[in-house]
Amino acid sequence: MKKTTLCLLLCILPLNILLAQEGYKLWLQYHPVEDAALKKHYTSQNAAISVDHNTPTGSVIREELNTALEAMLELQPNFTSPDKASLLILKQAALPEELQKQLPSNAVQDEEGFTIASLNYTGKPVILITSQTDAGLLYGVFRYLNLLQLHTDTSQLSVTDSPKIKKRILNHWDNLDRTVERGYAGFSIWDWHLLPHLIKEEYIDYARANASVGINGTVLNNVNASAYILQDTYLDKVKALADTFRPYGIQVYLTARFSAPIEIGGLKTADPLNEEVRTWWKEKANAIYKKIPDFGGFLIKANSEGQPGPNNYGRSHVEGANMLAEALEPHNGIVMWRAFVYSDEKPEDRAKQAYSEFVPFDGKFKKNVLVQVKNGPIDFQPREPFHPLFGAMPETPLMMEFQITQEYLGGMSHLVFLPKMYEETLQEDTYARGEGSIVAKVIDGSLNTKKLTGIAGVANIGTARNWTGHPFAQANWYGFGRLAWDPYLKSETIAREWLGMTFTTTPEFIDTMTPLLLNSREAVVNYMTPLGLHHIMAEGHHQGPGPWVKDLGREDWTSVYYHKADRMGIGFDRTSTGSNALAQYAEEIENTYKNKRTIPEDYLLWFHHVAWDYEMKNGQSLWYTLARKYQDGVEDVAQMKKTWNAMQDYVSPAVYEKTRMLLDIQYEEAQWWRNSCLLYFQQLSQMKMPPFIPKAPHSLEYYESIRDPYAPGIKPSWD
Amino acid sequence: MKKTTLCLLLCILPLNILLAQEGYKLWLQYHPVEDAALKKHYTSQNAAISVDHNTPTGSVIREELNTALEAMLELQPNFTSPDKASLLILKQAALPEELQKQLPSNAVQDEEGFTIASLNYTGKPVILITSQTDAGLLYGVFRYLNLLQLHTDTSQLSVTDSPKIKKRILNHWDNLDRTVERGYAGFSIWDWHLLPHLIKEEYIDYARANASVGINGTVLNNVNASAYILQDTYLDKVKALADTFRPYGIQVYLTARFSAPIEIGGLKTADPLNEEVRTWWKEKANAIYKKIPDFGGFLIKANSEGQPGPNNYGRSHVEGANMLAEALEPHNGIVMWRAFVYSDEKPEDRAKQAYSEFVPFDGKFKKNVLVQVKNGPIDFQPREPFHPLFGAMPETPLMMEFQITQEYLGGMSHLVFLPKMYEETLQEDTYARGEGSIVAKVIDGSLNTKKLTGIAGVANIGTARNWTGHPFAQANWYGFGRLAWDPYLKSETIAREWLGMTFTTTPEFIDTMTPLLLNSREAVVNYMTPLGLHHIMAEGHHQGPGPWVKDLGREDWTSVYYHKADRMGIGFDRTSTGSNALAQYAEEIENTYKNKRTIPEDYLLWFHHVAWDYEMKNGQSLWYTLARKYQDGVEDVAQMKKTWNAMQDYVSPAVYEKTRMLLDIQYEEAQWWRNSCLLYFQQLSQMKMPPFIPKAPHSLEYYESIRDPYAPGIKPSWD
């Protein structure tokens, strides 16, 4: 079929069919530039381009420019030699002296960094995008295209940027049967059965999207891993993906099941000090690198939630991690060893365990080991204080693990802009080396001059036609990528960028929707877990409220363990009169937080057990304030609905309708949270429901009876 | 966003992004008519349209006409009154007398039928589409649009058609956790968690596709059912789908788990003669019909493969089915009771069991019960003789169950055009009332004057962007629908229609691809199970060869039970010297099939154990002929690849590339089948491999060692 025919066909198709496709393109919509003057200016700047497309990445760059400039400017650029080009994309080593000497003084030296600058060359103005590496050029081009997407004035460009974190990685909790643990966007995009033969378009578009925000690694399989993926037949499939992703600067990693030497190696043990085991891993690493020379390394969840690990053999996390690190070392591979461990044997406050376990190991890991730490000490709650390990292991590179998929944040249906939450953690002060020792500085290595640095995001990507299910969940993928590149970015900046690229640059839209995104995180905290409450979700699948959950296999899986509500009050005493988890933080924090009067009220019930009638800063009782927060959350969602209803003119009917229906669900569920939590807590507080709380349509017994055995994101056998 | 902007945007987008969308539109591509004269003619005929769009179906009709005529003709039709229209869409009751008296003598009386006729009205030529019902009008409009899609001369139309089968139903083997049993196209399209609030565009486009081929019912959940779907919260979700599908003439059905009164009703028994149980089902039916007044009824798999049923209480299938039928009767609901039963306790040839069990019940079911029978007596094999129940229960309406999803036919990756297989079964002669008593006549009720008739297809639909995964699997959905409407249609007709609507009407393409489709079924029989072999697939997931499978939980799950190959020969003796399953067929068949010399060789090893050196009709030994068939199958796929390579100019790059990669997989797997089956059988036959068989690259031991615990279409826990 000829392209003109296709265009004809498409122009006369009904909107509803076409717009289903819109979501697939994510933030790389490349909307046409409608302002005539701007379009003319952009066109003249991009009409003639010089780029070395003889490398795989160069070819990717050329294709992306073709795609973007055709879409935005109806421009088929002329690819030509540097002296005839208006846009030059050149590696620093290939720069003519004339350009070299015009480079801004801060022009990047960092491998993946780039400079975009308006310069003069052979007597005419040009735009130069330069970097030391192919990947840096690609990042520079994507940044440049983003500037065009946002209608930036490009007449005097001087942008130099480089990633502040080395390993910027998505973690896919994807099982080999294509179910996704905590996945709310369909099946796994990895179609293992048809790999290595079938290379789907989706793999390429996944790589484009990641490269466009600077993500440079992907762990393909679940942290609750099957050893099967380390078998030869699967490694061929992994290689096919690695080959596909390589031109986009993306390395492939695998989760390694610690007991793989037994399960697929035929050994009797997986003891990390056993020579046969060590040899098995070395040979496995050699086999992987033979297929995939730039393989990234292993992620390991060991001795946590039933996963095997070195403790099974009386060995430590250090001994386990270092054994794998030794196998990967000759190939420049890394080990990402998760700190999310909690043991059956230690009935210690779960918030304390990772710290207790890992701090003694500081400085004992091999150089190619990163310890991967969740943002907070419990488990991806709507709000947690930062994990006390940050700042507490100065001799060890700590990798941040954020969750992009919304396990505890509304699953498939709640609009929550997570960069706002990531920003909060990254900006928190650990005081590890005095004031200003914020988490971001731990992660980017600047606090303790680490070279090997990393950040991981648990992906929210699936086979959904728009990748993430909820149209606004795309913003969380985007935002994670942007913060992985630069953990000092403001979430507001990210929101504006994403809205502009995805929908429209119209200021009325951006200015209205940006506050909606930024406020959405506080809304979910309010209607789910205000004032420091945490882990009171329904059992197992974590969708919906479950403050009544008790009597599970272990105490620290229950809700009552975390909220400790009783006739007297509510909250987990983590001060010295309680679990003393607070002592794991710096003195500055401890001193402020140990006192109910000085602790930020957002963390009050995380660290204190507080009487129901305790007087809060607003002069009202805790009970009253708690109710007010729940009601605020519900009202916030009502406001989001109202705001969205006014956005109909700015977005496609399909996105408008879908988001509208999803906000209806969110509104209903926010009320469900408020009603059921307040009814539950009221029977304990025995206090009067404040007048602004509407009467619940159901009884507490009704709410407690709700079951959802087919909730998404869990395997049915986990029910 | 304005539509013109969107068009602009789309026209300048790269092809690869747009074409990913192509597959979503299935056979409703509505390609532009490029022949100027034809376009002009069509435009004049469709410029002014009269249709009553005040009904939900009328509104659907108008929208479909807008979509189709814009896409094909760049025409925005004028909707107007009958006297000003060139195309009239009118119910028969609303026909002006002038049109009424011009109707062709064969104009339909059947409810869902329609007439499309070129007539004169108020002094000018018009095209009339008429029917007794809204659904008939919709079918007439889709047929009319199909004629346009195929560039048919519409100057003298006189088409009268009506469905020959009443209940034309898709069976979704979709679980509530969204996995799909034997599904090879992703997750279930039913997004239960977000229903009833989120109505996805996919639901509407699913309904459009079904209506376009006349499918008028859908069973939403797996035959291996969860009782959970009968709970109130889920019934609200079912209602939302029913409301969405209603304007498209599609009724919703559910699989009912027989033990639901225990599991969700709190009763101690599900005994169909127990009064409490009977009342429970009646109340459940009342509750369903209160929400969904046109609910279709229940599908039941009882006492088969571990599903509960009346036998658990010492009751018969009749007692079970009639109990449910009684509950549905006041609401005009039906029961579809599956005859796919085989019992642990009867060590009888599995091919015989359904017949033995059900024939004695003939005439004993209530009037609203259909017995749903698979096309063959084993289980959806590449080739089976027709099921002996067809023709053997003259007093009972028998419903055909075809499998559209390719459980035993190559799963995700093999191109097999199934209408060719369905046609073979439908055309087989049961001799039940003498020669010419073909299966189609049993199904459409004409053989025994049944009014309640039905046909079911196990769907191959999932969340894949193109619905079915393999681009050519769409043809099997289409073809099932067409044969459900008219079981006498030729598979060649269906192939030509589908190719023309989906890709292009170019004769070079259609004339080349039609034979490829028609031959594809014989190819898969040849490389998997030639000469009457059956059920020699790998264990459990059925993907790939497994003639060596033995020692499973029960004998009739193994391959060795079915091929019975030994040192002497191969094949299942089902004549009087063996299981005598052949006696379940009419005498005419028995007499022909009982003799190795007269039985069609396609069924030889289904009914006979045959010596390896037996001389076949071709003068060669059975062993030689078997090898030849396997080789033919492989060569057929090689030819398919070659043919496809020449089709590059006729299809989009995306479809071309994807199909090319899938054919590579099919070619590799065809060789895997040939190599492993022939090596396995050779160790028994001890005969020489014929010279045309290339040396296998692996040993038999290697092939036997292959495991695929993550094969698609099964739950991991079934491994």
Please judge whether A193 and B712 are an interchain contact, meaning their C-beta atoms are less than 8 angstroms apart. yes
Q: Which of A64, A329, A379, A590 is catalytic?
A: A379
Mean local confidence (pLDDT), A308-313: 95
Residues B175 and B278 in one domain: yes
- Dump pLDDT digits (tens) for A613-628: 999 999 999 999 999 9
Among chain A residues, the shortest Cα distance to B706 is held by A233
Please judge whether A651 and B1 are an interchain contact, meaning their C-beta atoms are less than 8 angstroms apart. yes
Please judge whether B193 and A31 are an interchain contact, meaning their C-beta atoms are less than 8 angstroms apart. no
Contact (Cβ atoms closer than 8 angstroms) between residue A86 and residue A46: yes
What Å distances lie between residue B433 and A317, A364, A516, B10, B427, CA to CA? 77, 86, 73, 60, 15
- Is the pLDDT confidence value at A313 over 70? yes
pLDDT at B487: 98
* Number of domains present in the structure of chain B: 3
Chain B nearest C-alpha distance from A167 (Å): 29
Please judge whether A12 and B71 are an interchain contact, meaning their C-beta atoms are less than 8 angstroms apart. yes
- Dump pLDDT digits (tens) for A52-68: 888 999 999 999 999 99
Residues B310 and B338 in one domain: yes
Q: Is residue B579 in a domain?
A: no
DSSP state of B412: T
Please judge whether A662 and B198 are an interchain contact, meaning their C-beta atoms are less than 8 angstroms apart. yes
What Å distances lie between residue B705 and A227, A353, B548, B698, B700, CA to CA? 18, 44, 11, 11, 9
- Is the pLDDT confidence value at A684 over 60? yes
What radius of gyration do chain A's Cα atoms show?
26
Burial class (CB in 10 A: 0-12, 13-18, 19+), A691: exposed
Residues forming beta bridges with residue A298, ordered by sequence position: A254, A335
* Side-chain half-sphere exposure of B665, counting CA atoms within 13 A: 22
Chain B nearest C-alpha distance from A21 (Å): 6
Chain A nearest C-alpha distance from B652 (Å): 6
Chain A nearest C-alpha distance from B288 (Å): 21
Reference B360, options B125, B584, B654; nearest CA is B584
Beta-strand (E) ranges in A303-368? 334-338
**How many C-beta neighbours within 10 Å does residue A588 have?**
14
Chain A hits for B43, Cβ within 8 Å = none
* H-helix or E-strand spanning residue B458: strand B454-458
The whole-angstrom separation of Cα A246 and Cα A443 is 25
- Is the pLDDT confidence value at B5 over 70? no
Residues A248 and A124 in one domain: no
**How many C-beta neighbours within 10 Å does residue A148 have?**
19
Chain A hits for B464, Cβ within 8 Å = 463
Beta-strand (E) ranges in B609-701? 610-611
What radius of gyration do chain B's Cα atoms show?
26
Please judge whether A412 and B717 are an interchain contact, meaning their C-beta atoms are less than 8 angstroms apart. no
Mean local confidence (pLDDT), B269-274: 98
Q: Round to the nearest angstrom and report the end-to-end CA distance of chain A.
A: 50
Reference A63, options A204, A252, A272; nearest CA is A204
Chain A hits for B652, Cβ within 8 Å = 1, 6
pLDDT at A554: 83
Q: Is residue A125 in a domain?
A: yes
Among chain A residues, the shortest Cα distance to B413 is held by A194
- Dump pLDDT digits (tens) for B329-388: 999 999 999 998 876 666 789 999 999 999 999 999 999 999 999 999 999 999 999 999
Q: Is residue B514 in a domain?
A: no
Q: β-strand B297-300 against B334-338: which pairing, if any? A: parallel
Residues A181 and A303 in one domain: yes
Neighbour-count burial for B525-539, b at 16+ CB within 10 Å, e otherwise: bbbbbbbbbbbbbbb
A414 φ/ψ angles, rounded to the nearest 5 degrees? -100, 135
SS3 assignment for B462-520: CCCCCCCCCHHHHHHHHHHHHHHHCCCCCHHHHHHHHHHHHCCCCHHHHHHHHHHHHHH
Chain B nearest C-alpha distance from A1 (Å): 6
The whole-angstrom separation of Cα A412 and Cα A663 is 11
Domain boundary among B127, B161, B195: B161
Q: Confidence class of residue B30 from pLDDT cuts 50, 70 and 90? A: very high
Q: CB-CB: which of A8, A24, A71 is closest to B9?
A: A71
Mean local confidence (pLDDT), B113-123: 96
pLDDT at A15: 39
Contact (Cβ atoms closer than 8 angstroms) between residue B302 and residue B256: no
What percent of chain B is helix, strand and coil (3-state, nearest 5)?
45, 10, 45
The whole-angstrom separation of Cα A462 and Cα A477 is 12
A693 φ/ψ angles, rounded to the nearest 5 degrees? -90, 115
Residues A92 and A185 in one domain: no
Chain B hits for A179, Cβ within 8 Å = 179, 716
Chain A hits for B715, Cβ within 8 Å = 177, 716
The whole-angstrom separation of Cα A551 and Cα A561 is 10
Among chain A residues, the shortest Cα distance to B16 is held by A201
Instruction: Tell me the one-letter amino acid at B201.
Output: E
- Dump pLDDT digits (tens) for A209-232: 999 999 999 999 999 999 999 999
DSSP state of B583: G
Contact (Cβ atoms closer than 8 angstroms) between residue A138 and residue A211: yes
Domain boundary among B135, B161, B187: B161
Q: Confidence class of residue A342 from pLDDT cuts 50, 70 and 90? A: confident
Contact (Cβ atoms closer than 8 angstroms) between residue A427 and residue A376: no
Q: Is residue B78 in a domain?
A: yes
Instruction: Tell me the one-letter amino acid at B420.
Output: K
Q: Which of A74, A111, A236, A305 is catalytic?
A: A305
Hey, is B346 helix, strand or coil? coil
Place of tokens 């590059």: B648
Residues B544 and B623 in one domain: yes
Residues A434 and A305 in one domain: yes
Please judge whether A34 and B5 are an interchain contact, meaning their C-beta atoms are less than 8 angstroms apart. yes
Place of tokens 């898969």: B524
Question: What are the counts of helices (DSSP H) followed by strands (DSSP E) for chain B?
Answer: 23, 16
Mean pLDDT over each residue of chain A, to the nearest integer: 94
* H-helix or E-strand spanning residue B169: strand B167-171
Chain A hits for B221, Cβ within 8 Å = none
- Per cent of chain B over pLDDT 70 is 96
Hey, is A347 helix, strand or coil? coil
- Dump pLDDT digits (tens) for A573-596: 999 999 999 999 999 999 999 999
Q: Confidence class of residue B554 from pLDDT cuts 50, 70 and 90? A: confident
Q: CB-CB: which of A6, A16, A715 is closest to B201?
A: A16
Q: Confidence class of residue B304 from pLDDT cuts 50, 70 and 90? A: confident
Residues B116 and B61 in one domain: yes
pLDDT at B306: 84
Please judge whether A7 and B3 are an interchain contact, meaning their C-beta atoms are less than 8 angstroms apart. no
Provide the CA B710 distance to its chain's centre, in angstroms.
Answer: 25
- Dump pLDDT digits (tens) for A525-569: 999 999 999 999 999 999 999 999 998 888 888 999 999 999 999
Q: CB-CB: which of A191, A193, A412 is closest to B194?
A: A412
Beta-strand (E) ranges in B277-356? 297-300, 334-338
Residues B541 and B429 in one domain: no
Residue B495, token pair as written in the block: 């192939």
Burial class (CB in 10 A: 0-12, 13-18, 19+), A576: exposed
- Dump pLDDT digits (tens) for B216-227: 999 999 999 999
Residues B154 and B181 in one domain: no
- Dump pLDDT digits (tens) for B171-209: 999 999 999 999 999 999 999 999 999 999 999 999 999
The whole-angstrom separation of Cα B591 and Cα A541 is 61
Q: CB-CB: which of A24, A194, A412 is closest to B20?
A: A24
* Side-chain half-sphere exposure of B417, counting CA atoms within 13 A: 25
Provide the CA B446 distance to its chain's centre, in angstroms.
Answer: 21
Residue A634's CATH number: 3.90.1330.10
Mean local confidence (pLDDT), B393-407: 98
Q: Find which of B181, B465, B655 to mutate to test the A interface (most A CBs within 10 Å of its CB).
A: B465
Residues B215 and B129 in one domain: no
pLDDT at B1: 36
Among chain A residues, the shortest Cα distance to B24 is held by A17
Among chain B residues, the shortest Cα distance to A19 is held by B6
User: CB under 8 Å to B25, separation ≥6 — which residues?
Assistant: A17
- Per cent of chain A over pLDDT 70 is 96
Q: Confidence class of residue A149 from pLDDT cuts 50, 70 and 90? A: very high
Provide the CA A264 distance to its chain's centre, in angstroms.
Answer: 32
Q: Is residue A23 in a domain?
A: no
What Å distances lie between residue A137 and A30, A484, B3, CA to CA? 19, 18, 35
- Is the pLDDT confidence value at A434 over 60? yes
For A218, the domain range is 167-495
ipTM of the complex as predicted: 0.92
Residue A403's CATH number: 3.20.20.80
The whole-angstrom separation of Cα A211 and Cα B36 is 46
Residue A26, token pair as written in the block: 């994510």
- Dump pLDDT digits (tens) for B141-165: 999 999 999 999 999 999 999 999 9
Domain boundary among B441, B464, B499: B499
Chain A hits for B67, Cβ within 8 Å = 13-14, 17
Residue A569, token pair as written in the block: 């009050």
Q: Is residue A651 in a domain?
A: yes
Mean local confidence (pLDDT), A399-423: 98
The whole-angstrom separation of Cα A669 and Cα A674 is 9
**How many C-beta neighbours within 10 Å does residue B108 have?**
20
Q: Is residue A124 in a domain?
A: yes
Q: Is residue A454 in a domain?
A: yes
Residues of B tagged active-site: 305, 379, 407
- Is the pLDDT confidence value at B715 over 70? no
pLDDT at A21: 61
The whole-angstrom separation of Cα B159 and Cα B140 is 9
The whole-angstrom separation of Cα A718 and Cα A557 is 14
* H-helix or E-strand spanning residue B353: helix B350-358
Residues A253 and A189 in one domain: yes
Chain B hits for A709, Cβ within 8 Å = 176, 228
Sheet holding B114-121, edge to edge: B78-79, B48-51, B87-91, B124-131, B114-121, B158-161
Chain B hits for A705, Cβ within 8 Å = none
The whole-angstrom separation of Cα B43 and Cα A648 is 34
Please judge whether B194 and A665 are an interchain contact, meaning their C-beta atoms are less than 8 angstroms apart. yes
Contact (Cβ atoms closer than 8 angstroms) between residue B85 and residue B47: no
pLDDT at A715: 64
pLDDT at A4: 39
Q: CB-CB: which of B191, B463, B708 is closest to A187?
A: B463
- Is the pLDDT confidence value at A6 over 50? no
Query: A-B interface: how many C-beta pairs under 8 angstroms?
Result: 193
Chain B nearest C-alpha distance from A30 (Å): 8
Q: Find which of B198, B472, B671, B703 to mutate to test the A interface (most A CBs within 10 Å of its CB).
A: B198
Contact (Cβ atoms closer than 8 angstroms) between residue A266 and residue A305: no
Chain A nearest C-alpha distance from B429 (Å): 40
Q: Confidence class of residue A304 from pLDDT cuts 50, 70 and 90? A: confident
